[in-house]
Chains A and B, each alone.
Chain A
Amino acid sequence: MEVTIQKVILCAVADEPGKVAGVPTFYARDEESRQKKALYLSRILQGAVHDLGDGVLIVVKH
């Protein structure tokens, strides 16, 4: 039986430090760069990207 981690926040992409804690976070000031980072991370980690607003994106394994 294969064991996988599910329903967990794998990492976050935020526009500035202090907004996210507890998960690996990548920072990018502009929206374009955040989108690009989130795209790469979602494809690498096979997770879905959700926008929490206020410049914070999270990658979640469902």
Chain B
Amino acid sequence: MPHAQSIGLGLLLGILARVSMLRSDYRQYPTYPHGYASHLFLGIIAAVVGSVAVPALFEREWTAVTFLVLVAQQFREIRSLERDSLKALEETQLVMRGSDYIESIARIFEARYYIVIFVAASAAFGVEYSSVATGVVLGAIAFGLGAALMRVEKLEKTVKIEIAPVNIKGTDIYVGDIFIMNVGLRESREFILKNALGAILSPKTETARDTLASLGQRQAILHDISGILGVKKDLDTPEFTPIARRDIETGRVAVFMVPAEKDEKVFLEVVSRVPVLESARGRSLRRSGRCC
């Protein structure tokens, strides 16, 4: 069969690329077996598209380009698919992801399929142009490039994160010197004093200050820490809801939560690893040329 090697290698490397990106991380998504199955299947389709397109072009089948564009359009649907499914789950979450985080996850899922197409097409091109070895090398380079492009900045890069004590002054709850909320029930105040964890996030740059100001970014932090440490909270105890409050004077943010597992080390690590969301990335000063 002509082009069997190029299509075969493109398909193989494309599927491998999708499998390597299909890991369930600390965000716990996608964990469901059916989520895995549908993404694997779509990954195979993307790999087929990428690997078949190149030999078709070598055969001067220009209609293949039209089909490639058509299929790429179909992969745009992935974003809305992910968005819809995560939004549907929001209502039953104790601590929501927030629409910014959902949008960010949906965008990443869509982009992964374009990388699969790119890897498969590069590998197929390598085989068609030279040899299987070249195909493997080109496929690997394409995957490396894709992975580098997809690298997400972590919060710790631009934000200083420190544990801060949870204090109670009268009926007011503070994390360090930042006011969180007023709690009227004595029982709840005692519970908070015993179980709560707090951290203060100080921006290292002006752009990081913008990032921390974003409500979506703060909700993403709260969702991640709640996902890992758990929350001691139910529907009838809203006072134990994790909160991130901003000190408008300095731009620092205080994070307050009542975790199921009170572990300061893990708490700090999780906050450090929260991704900086695309929609929250501060750029106002950068645009005006005043900042890095």
Chain A interfacial positions (CB closer than 8 Å to B) = 2, 35, 38-39, 42-44, 46-51, 53, 57-58, 62
- Could you tell me the distance in whole angstroms from the C-beta of B89 to the nearest C-beta in chain A? 14
Known pairs A49-B185, A51-B171, A57-B184 / 7 extra A-B pairs, C-beta < 8 Å: A35-B185, A38-B184, A39-B185, A42-B185, A50-B181, A51-B182, A53-B171
Interface of A is mostly: mixed
Of the residues A2, A43, A51, A62, contact of B184 by C-beta under 8 Å: A51
Is A46 within 8 A of B238, CB to CB? yes
Pairs of residues from A and B, 4 with the lowest C-beta to C-beta distance, nearest first: A49-B184, A51-B184, A51-B171, A43-B236
A48: contacting residue among B170, B187, B239, CB under 8 A: B239
CB-CB nearest in chain A for B243: A62
Q: A51-B171, A51-B182 are in contact. Are A35 and B187 (CB under 8 A)?
A: yes
The reply to whether A42 and B183 form a contact with Cβ atoms under 8 Å apart is: no
Docked Cα-Cα span, A44 to B235, in Å, equals 10
Which chain B residues (157-205) contact chain A, with CB distance < 8 Å? 170-171, 181-188
Q: Are A46 and B235 in contact (CB under 8 A)?
A: yes
Query: In the complex, what residue of chain A is closest to B238 when comparing beta carbons?
Result: A48
Cβ–Cβ < 8 Å partners of A39 in chain B:
185, 187
- Chain B residue at minimum C-beta to C-beta distance from A39: B185
Give the residue name and chain of the A residue nearest to B171 (CB). Answer: A51
